[in-house]
A and B are shown apart, each in its own frame.
Chain A
Amino acid sequence: MDIDLKVTPDKYLPHRYAGASGDFNPIHIDSQFAQEVGLPSNILHGLYSMAQVARACTSAVGGDPRSLRRLSVQFRGMGFPEQEIRVSGSERESRDGVTVVEVVAEQGEEQIIRNAEAELQAP
């Protein structure tokens, strides 16, 4: 099983995700504030990037949300709007109907999610 998803969050995506998730931390939606605290610009919500990993995993097995049983990630680096995210991964093992996949999410050379591990099971 191959996991492969590409998505480019647009400039205003962090605002829409803030509204949808309820996380209005200004480092995600206010570039000026982000720069004042030492970031290059406003950064993506880590849980938005994790949602892209989740979407890549469920899409790889037909899209049913019941197929994703577990997802564990480590956040590293920073994600930015207006840069392509590539989620990729492959199967590590399959046992008793559960497939374990290892996944990363990258922007350019930078890993923004690493050591992600998902368990998928046909619903």
Chain B
Amino acid sequence: MPVKTDARGKTYPPYVYEVGKEKIREYAQAVGEDNPLYFDREQARAAGFRDVPAPPMFAVVFAMGSVGPGMFDPDVGIDFAMMVHGGQEFIWGEPVCAGDVISTETSVKDIFEKDGKGFYVFESVSTNQEGQEVVRGTWTNIVRGV
């Protein structure tokens, strides 16, 4: 059965996430970050940040709320039992700091079939309260046996 490609280009409503200092701490501890910049406001400010910065990969925390609805969209039609997260790219812009309000919009960048597998590629674009882009993510999910 060929993959459905009608959802190419579809976009989803923005997902808004307010970044908390303690959420940054929880995330940083979970991934083993021990740089005091992520925990100590004074050190962060001395280094030129508005407040404690988030580790770059914290992007997944505020972007998933936007990417998730795309991945679960019946119009996209991913068979989750057969899906693996095949690839991921992030391109970072302005740093994300505690107190920021991050808005993320996701679109279906591409759907295609190759070697009997379906490739579902989503793009998320996250901007802060000043309208500055903080991160652009490309999420590639691969579904076997399409």
Give the interface of A toward B (CB within 8 A).
7, 13, 16-17, 19-23, 37, 46-48, 50-52, 54-55, 58, 63-66, 68-75
B30-A63 in contact (CB<8A):
no
B61-A22 in contact (CB<8A):
yes
- Name the contact of B85 in the complex, choosing from A46, A51, A72 (C-beta under 8 A): A46
Closest to A63 in B: B35
A-side contacts of B76, CB under 8 Å = none
- Name the contact of B87 in the complex, choosing from A58, A64, A73 (C-beta under 8 A): A73
B87-A52 in contact (CB<8A):
no
Name B's interface SS. mixed
B-side contacts of A50, CB under 8 Å = 57, 88
- Name the contact of A69 in the complex, choosing from B35, B60, B84, B91 (C-beta under 8 A): B91
Chain B positions 27-55 with a Cβ under 8 Å from a chain A Cβ: 27, 29-33, 35, 37-38, 47, 53-55
- Name the contact of A20 in the complex, choosing from B27, B56, B88, B91 (C-beta under 8 A): B27
A-side contacts of B38, CB under 8 Å = 65
Give the interface of B toward A (CB within 8 A).
23, 26-27, 29-33, 35, 37-38, 47, 53-57, 60-61, 64-65, 81, 84-92, 95, 138
A75-B84 in contact (CB<8A):
yes
A51-B89 in contact (CB<8A):
no
Interchain CA distance A16-B56 in the complex, whole Å: 18
B89-A20 in contact (CB<8A):
no
Interchain CA distance A74-B33 in the complex, whole Å: 22
| A68-B92, A75-B86 known, 11 other contacts, Cβ within 8 Å | A20-B31, A20-B61, A23-B60, A23-B64, A46-B88, A63-B37, A64-B47, A65-B95, A70-B89, A73-B89, A75-B85
B-side contacts of A52, CB under 8 Å = 31-32
How many Å from the CB of B46 to the closest CB on chain A?
A: 12
A21-B27 in contact (CB<8A):
yes
Closest to A78 in B: B84
B-side contacts of A66, CB under 8 Å = 53, 95
